[in-house]
Structure 1
Amino acid sequence: MRVFTFIVFCLFTKALLAQSPLSSIDTDTVTTSLNEVIINENRLQTPFSEQNRNINILTKEQIKNLPARSVSELLSFIPGVDVRQRGPWGAQADISIDGGTFEQTMILINGIKVNDPQTAHHSMNIPIPIGAIERVEVIRGPAARVYGINSLTGAINIVTRTPDNDFYEGTVQLASSLKSKEEGSGLYNGRTIQLGTGFADSTATHLVYGSHDSGNGYRYNTPYNNSKIFYQGKIKNHHEGLWNLMGGYTYNNFGANAFYAPPNDKEAKEIVQTALFSLGFTSSTLNRWKFSPRLSYRYNYDDYRYNQYNLSLFRNLHHSHVVNTEFNATYGTGRGVLGLGIELRNEFLISTNMGDRQRNNYGLYAEYKTEFSERLTANIGAYLNYNTHFGWQVYPGLDLGYKLAPHWRLYINAGSGQRIPSFTDLYTNGGGNVGNPDLNSENAWYTEGGLKYNNERSFVSISYFYRKITDFIDWTRANTDESWRASNFMQNQVQGFNVNANWQLSTLANSNWYLGLAYNYLDPKVKAVYRDPVMSKYAIESLRHQAALQLSFRSEPISFSISERFVERISYKNYFLTDVKLSYNWKNYRLFLDANNIFDTSYIEASAIPLPGRWFNLGFNCSF
């Protein structure tokens, strides 16, 4: 049935394209072109159409059409991103890119790092309601030259909205599987409320969003209670520059049945609270120089209760603090742009399980972007890093692009990256897991080449990459009677091929069609340092095949989208997921119905945790 759906989509689209030449498209109905998106990389700014890297973007219009209730669910629709949820609807998810592990992916909000030093299991505990998101950028491949440590396999940057006028918005949603609970009476269900407002004038913009999600889960002990509040302000300082303020808080309380220590953690519960604050300033250009100092702070509280009814049994409390100080500068040379930066990162952990820990990281950036000719462009740079635990290391990178013809670009890049062990990797002791304080940092070398086609209505990208990670950190054990132990277990090599394409087209003046296709193939290989066979947590859980298709149609007042995804991992059963969304728009109001996993597929993304079957979500949105 799922294969049949793919075939029908392809045949239907072929017929549509045959009947609707591009010349008939009403450009007034087409959403903002990707070519107009500027990718901000802390120092250098490059239009999406001129990028010499493999970057995927999820736009605000696409987000609106997707049947997703959390940021993690949004990411699952982006090619190359592997979302492994233990708890859906924002409870808990691990994010990896192109066959890496969840610890090897950098997560950013408006360019600010939000990774958790205790464990990347918390990196998606972010205070961003979906309504506040302008777009999501996924940069594939090591990005140390751009973002520093821990961007070993790539980076995900969540860009929030900047209001251009005053608005008020509210959304309410009710959801259910229409299945009876395993305990007690009633149905599994959930609910969401989201409120947002924005203000804009000639001197400042302000954005405020809040949301609350709650529900009784989808199986025994999986209820969730999640609240978020977020603020962003941009204030002009006369002619001198722009102040950027950001703050947010999220409270996440969820049942953690089988999340981390199955099968005996049936009564587990976890409470995670995260606060985030940043203050930055971007100066106006002065004698070709532009300066951008920034200070950010992240606090995370983690209360893991192995048995919520017996708190004396393996309860772990963790408090982590991260202070990040940055100073970036750019200088226009006439032939290009020079970017320089310095970063000081201080990480602290207070833990009942791992003790009190502290480490500091210092980094220096240098980049240069230039045009050798009208066709040939290059970005070259390096990141010099010093860590109080791991010493000095250098990570260079180079991006080259050649414009073959209008809209066509050939690119190649090579780079390196690093991932320092988390505090959990180093010091945890309990729950069947034992850390290793003698771990080395992971290091990666990466090369990629590809071809892109870009115009106002379509985008096509084909690429091949090869990545080699040395001192790969994994958790292993010889048999099920032993605890998992962290070690620099192996050398990890991955080569992959990916195709990504999307089209925006219209058959009538008041209707829009959108079609997106993507396919990723990964071929991971490992070379272990041990001769004796061992069990591995992460080395053999990589994706092998990933395919996605999305078709959207809008003809006011109706809009409809259907998404089909296929996932095959090395050590898991493959599966198809089909999701649909139907919306009715009237003036400032929108009524919508989501149906996720409409074929009620049984599937697993992490550990042995079954995820929800068929699920319905009815929502209402109003904006003024």
Structure 2
Amino acid sequence: MQKLVLLVSSLAFCLSVNAQTDTTTQDLGEVLIQENRIQLPFSKQSRNISLISKRQIETTPARSLAEVLSFVPGVDVRQRGVTGVQSDISIRGGSFEQTLMLLNGIKLSDPQTGHHMMNIPVPLVNIDRVEVLKGPASRIFGQNAYAGAINVITELSDNKYARVQGYAGDFGMKGLNFAGSLPMGNYKQNLAVSYDDSNGHWYNSDYQVSNIFYEGGLDINERNELKGMIAYTDRSFGANGFYSSAFPDQWESVQTTLASLSHTLNLDNFYLNTRGYFRRNQDEYVLRRDEPEFYQNFHTTDVYALEANGSFQSMLGKTGFGLETRKEAIESTNLGNHDRVLSGIFLEQLVTIGKKADLRAGVYSNYYSEYGWKHFPGAELGFQATTDLRLYSGYGISYRIPTYNDLYYVGPTNIGNDNLVPEQAQNFEIGAKWSKSGLFAELVYFNRSTDNLIEWTRPDANTPWQPQNFSEVKFNGIEASLNYRVSPNGKTLHIKEFNLSYNYINADLINQPGIETRYALTALKNQVIGGVLIGIGQKLEWNTKMRNVERMNQDPYFLLDMRVDYNRTSKIGFFAEASNITDTDYMEAGTVQMPGRWFRAGFMLNFE
């Protein structure tokens, strides 16, 4: 804790010294948040949202999106290995099943299991920004956006460019990434390819990960645009301790394919986007790597979806509307063959109240073939107290249906429960945002009351885990954050970015006598995140990141990471990264021992 206090004090001192002279700021307030219907600038949002910019992605000591997300306030990342080979992401104390991942607004949830949520077929080098919406998002994105949603955004460029990045490091780690843009008249296109592998940081933790991503867009005229996307990821990895410590020779191979086609009509006061997409996930799981006949599972899930989302402006304000239909199917040697269909209707309204207040309210009505109709109302009220200060509050209902793993899995250490019912929650938050001259501060309190929480339990270590519904569980917490961002100012030594946040989460779920729970009582409790990006001259950047993490019923741990970039935006650049500089002994998920101090370094080539 003394290390933490010392580092925070040093960062705060550096900020106070430089803030007096830095006047050039980087304003993210007008970044348009990419929701599917009513889209508002970041500064006008009445919700708790974190933005990860491209510069932050490029300068963070991280080799994967999961590692980047680990520095976002209120987000709990539990990796089963380095560079995000397999990761679970949760928000505000929720489980990994309660977070919805999206790519450009397309849902990536897998009906088999939430463990596949981070199989995102986009190399890190091609991501433009990431939007993290905390709290209920069912009204905006549909079911499974239970505790929050993470939208990964890519952008088509008007300019030609090519970027190559390579690296190597401890554990035999190496990787090569390419991203390029080749616009031709009214047609824009991006291509990105990446490959990463490692011998692993401990026994049976080697991995190989490949990604390919292509996106194209045709401007038919000023009002009509077509976009298409096709992407594929292939990841195979030794899974020692991933799901059970009893079988250290576990191995898994996962392939995910994603394809989409969309049309956008944009008139003066009317916007409509229609799209269809397909997602396939193939999962091979072996309990003994060199003896697959002992226990082996094959799962293939297919998702087919059609969506129409739009908005129009009238005397009443801005109205958003949407329709969706989605079929989920699985063929599995373990879970059996199943399918289910959902349909959904979105409707919301944004109105201004006087000169300073606005109200955004709506409802998502969802029909599931297995559970019938469910309705998810929600509303946010915002008040612009001053030019710099915005107050807000919100309410929403969220919902999640069990995955096929929850319902039907049969194995030596896990058994499903086909009597499960969906979980549902009522959510409330109240907060304040203050922004001025590159400084942004936010304070928010939230409360989530869950009915029929799905949690894996067991009576003792000799009995397989099995999920059950808990009648009612309440989560509440606070988040306080401070961010400072400026543009380069030409000084020899200056702070480009500073951030500091604190999160506290409390859950009233207590263990029943003789019952052990797997996830809920290891949720995030205390989290402190800090970082400072320092510019040294015109070519050198030094980023320091720290985290102090405490989960319920577990010991806290402190992590310190650093990255140095030289010539990052020039034609030839170099970088070096160090993770867990404090050589902390810790685990994030399962029984996987995370590595101690480790290093990697690489190069960047930029051609425009």
Q: One-letter code of the match for 1:228?
A: N
Distance in structure 2 (CA, Å) of the matches to 1:338 and 1:8: 47
CA distance in 1 between partners of 2:456 and 2:23 (Å): 55
Supply the distance in 2 between the matched residues of 1:612 and 1:343 (Cα, whole angstroms): 43
Give the distance between the partners of 1:115 and 1:507, measured in 2 at CA: 39
Equivalent residue, structure 1, for 2:543: 561
Post-superposition offset of 1:247: 1.4
Residues 346-357 of structure 1 mapped to structure 2, 5 A cutoff: 346-357=327-338
Q: 1:331 aligns with which of 305, 308, 312?
A: 312
Quick check: 1:597 aligned with 2:580? yes
Question: Residue 404 of structure 2: which of 384, 399, 423 is its match?
Answer: 423
Amino acid of the structure 1 residue aligned with 2:520: A
> Quick one: structure 1 residues 301 and 456, their matched pair in 2 at CA, closer, same or farther if it must change by over 3 Å?
farther
The unaligned stretches of length 5 or more in structure 2 are none
- Cα shift at 1:9: 4.3
Q: Counterpart in 2 of 1:311?
A: 292
For 1:113 and 1:20, locate their aligned partners in 2 and report how far apart those are by CA, in whole Å. 40
Question: Letter of the aligned partner of 1:388 in structure 2?
Answer: S
SS of the residue aligned with 1:45?
coil
Determine if contact 1:111/1:157 at 8 Å carries over to the other structure. Answer: yes
SS at match of 2:509: strand
Question: What SS does the corresponding residue of 1:621 show, helix, strand or coil?
Answer: strand
The whole-number CA distance in structure 2 between the counterparts of 1:162 and 1:36 is 19
Q: Which residue of 2 aligns with 1:500?
A: 481
* TM-score using structure 2 length: 0.96
Q: Which residue number in structure 2 is paired with residue 185 of structure 1?
A: none
Q: Secondary structure at the match of 1:89?
A: helix
**Distance in 2, Cα, partners of 1:256 & 1:18:** 48
- CA–CA distance in 1 between the matches of 2:479 and 2:15? 25
| 2:344 pairs with one of 351, 355, 363 | 363
Change (3 A) 1:408 1:201: farther
Change over 3 Å in CA distance of 1:99–1:12 after alignment to 2:
closer
Deviations 1:204-223 (A, max 9, x none): 32111000000100001100
Match of 1:182 in 2: none
Kindly state the Cα deviation for residue 484 of structure 1 after the two structures are TM-superposed. 1.2
- Give the Å deviation of 1:311: 1.1
Q: 1:471 to 1:20 in 2, by over 3 A?
A: closer
Compute the displacement of 1:25 (Å). 2.6
Structure 1 residue 527, shift from structure 2 partner:
6.5
Q: Which residue of 1 aligns with 2:596?
A: 613
After TM superposition, the score normalised by the length of structure 1 is 0.94
Greater CA drift, 583-592 or 139-148: 583-592
Instruction: Tell me the amino acid that sits aligned with residue 284 of structure 1.
Output: N
TM-superposed CA distance for 1:491, in Å, is 1.8
| Aligned CA distance change for structure 1 residues 506 and 158 (closer, same or farther; 3 Å) | closer
User: Partner of 1:214 in structure 2?
Assistant: 197
CA contact (8 A) 2:244 2:590 kept: no
Contact kept in structure 1, 2:244 and 2:591, CA below 8 Å: no
Match of 1:373 in 2: 354
Once the two structures are TM-superposed, the CA of residue 508 in structure 1 deviates from its matched residue by: 5.0
Match of 2:428 among 424, 447, 464: 447
Output the CA distance in 2 between the equivalents of 1:20 and 1:421: 49
For the pair 1:393 / 2:374, whether they are aligned, the reply is yes
Q: Which residue of 2 aligns with 1:466?
A: 447
Distance 1:164 1:175 in 2: 35
Q: CA deviation at 1:606?
A: 1.0
Q: Secondary structure at the match of 1:518?
A: strand
**Aligned mates of 1:87, 1:7 — CA distance in 2:** 29
Measure the CA separation in 1 of the matches of 2:32 and 2:487.
25
Mean CA deviation greater in 566-575 or 454-463: 454-463
Report what 1:203 is aligned to. Answer: 186
CA contact 2:452–2:472 (8 Å) conserved in 1: yes
Tell me what 1:191 maps to: 174
Q: Secondary structure at the match of 2:40?
A: strand
Deviations 1:340-364 (CA, angstroms, capped at 9, x unpaired): 1111010000000011010011111
State the partner residue of 2:45: 51
**189-198 vs 229-238, which moves further:** 229-238
Cα deviation code 1:247-278 (max 9, x no counterpart): 11000000001111222x11111000000011
368-377 or 211-220, larger mean C-alpha shift: 368-377
Aligned to 1:134: 128
Q: Distance in 2 between matches of 1:103 and 1:593?
A: 34
For residue 441 of structure 1, report the CA deviation from its aligned partner.
0.5
Contact 1:490 1:527 in 2 (8 A): no
Are 1:73 and 2:67 counterparts? yes
Matches within 5 A, 1:467-482: 467-482=448-463
Contact 2:335–2:405 (Cα < 8 Å) also in 1: yes
Distance 1:211 1:506, change over 3 A: closer
Report the more deviating stretch, 197-206 or 589-598.
197-206
> Partners in 2 of 1:507 and 1:239 — Cα distance?
35
Are residues 202 and 284 of structure 1, via their aligned partners in 2, closer, same or farther at CA, if it must alter by over 3 Å? Answer: farther
CA distance in structure 2 between the partners assigned to 1:43 and 1:202 by the alignment: 29
Residue 284 and residue 536 in structure 1: after superposition, are their counterparts in 2 closer, same or farther (change >3 A)? Answer: same
- Could you tell me whether the CA contact under 8 Å between 1:256 and 1:266 is conserved in 2? yes
Greater displacement, 380-389 / 474-483: 474-483
Classify 1:585/1:386 alpha carbon distance in 2 versus 1 (closer, same or farther; 3 Å): same
Aligned residue-pair number: 603
Q: CA deviation at 1:16?
A: 4.6
1:550 corresponding residue in structure 2? 531
What amino acid is aligned across from residue 25 of structure 1 in structure 2? D
Shift of 1:14: 2.3
Give the 3-state SS of the residue equivalent to 1:437 in structure 2: coil
